[in-house]
Amino acid sequence: MRPVRTVVGLVLGTVSVCAALAALAAWGVARCSGPVVGVAAWEQRRVAVLLGGEPAGPEGVEPRRAAAYLWCRIPVGLLGGGTLLLLAAGGWTALSGLSRWLTGHDVDGMSPTWPIVGYLLTAGLLLLFLDLAGLAAVVELERRLVRRFLGPDELARMRRRIDELAATRSGIVEAVDAERRRIERDLHDGLQQRLVVVAMLLGRARRKDSAELYRQAQAEAEQAVEELRQVAWRVYPATLDELGLREALAQDAERSPVPVEITGDLAWRPAPAVETAVYFAVREALTNAAKHAGAGRIDVEIGQEARLVRVTVRDDGCGGADPGGPGLAGLARRIRALDGRLSVDSPPGGPTRVVAELPCG
């Protein structure tokens, strides 16, 4: 599929040379910038969709930069068309000659002897390699021209980065405040009430000298200790530092009421902030699948590339997860603060697929 898109992209790039020449003529004669900007924007979309270039940013294209791009792109477009023409002509010549030999005819007075066939086959493979290398070079030239002339300049990149950092900083502050409020609710509604009961039972047991009340107080105290462990685990699991991401997720899988299958692992441990963000992203997805999706099975896939950690969580539940909900939105802000990305695909009826991608750090 990708080779087909590449060929289509190069063919369209060759045809669009005429449109580029007409736009440049309008720019030079009447100083009309509309055609130049329009053709340049179309070329940018062509390279992004068909040749794997970067998508267009929110900034518009300046007429001067668009005109400079079209001037430089004309020879590249012609080069791509010529390379495709040579590839097609060479392929047609080889196929027609082979078909004549197979039907018992000579080609240019030559019969198909083994030395001739071997020589032509070697030469054909060499020319095919050079032609394909030329096509790859043209595709790379197309991408570089778009980045050089139509992409944001250094000042625009810095402004965009500043805006991203300001937004992610605000988001992470909100996420931390929401986490603090959640911890306060857990302590107030759970542990604090449990300790009040323990104090009341101890007071009654001391007044009545009742062994039964002491046993009840001991049971409540043990339950309070367990709840405190659960709160501490929800804040930050010690296993994550001691044994790593997979083991921490394995413990979560054991606690989950829904069967969880974990596959893959990390080749090496990323930065602690990245590992923590990935862990909480997976745990939030597990919690949502168990509480709201009615899932019968959850699959967690862990993968790591050269500069990227990717974790995918799939469940067979009813779907309809809201990426703007407090849990997923907070995770998305936390991941964006680390230059990562959280994507949620949860159509009504399911299944739900949550993917967290972060740089290794």
User: What integer pLDDT is reported at residue 105 of this predicted model?
Assistant: 61
Q: Which amino acid is at 230?
A: Q
Average pLDDT taken over every residue of the chain: 77
User: What integer pLDDT is reported at residue 82 of this predicted model?
Assistant: 85
Tell me: pLDDT of 55 over 80: no
Distance from C-alpha of 211 to C-alpha of 216, rounded to nearest angstrom = 9
Domains (ranges, CATH) in the chain?
2-151 (no CATH), 157-235 (no CATH), 241-359 (3.30.565.10)
> 341-345 and 308-315: which strand pairing?
unpaired
pTM summary value: 0.50
Tell me: pLDDT of 24 over 80: yes
| Confidence category of residue 98, pLDDT binned at 50, 70, 90 | low
What value does the mean pLDDT take over residues 253-274?
82
Residue 20: which of 34, 8, 35, 6 has the closest Cα? 35
Tell me which range, 106-110, 200-204, 351-355, is most confidently predicted by mean pLDDT. 351-355
Q: Which contacts of 290-296 are long-range, i.e. CB under 8 A and separated by 24 or more positions?
A: 290/256, 290/257, 290/258, 292/317, 292/321, 293/317, 293/318, 293/319, 293/321, 293/350, 293/352, 294/318, 295/258, 295/350, 295/352, 296/258, 296/259
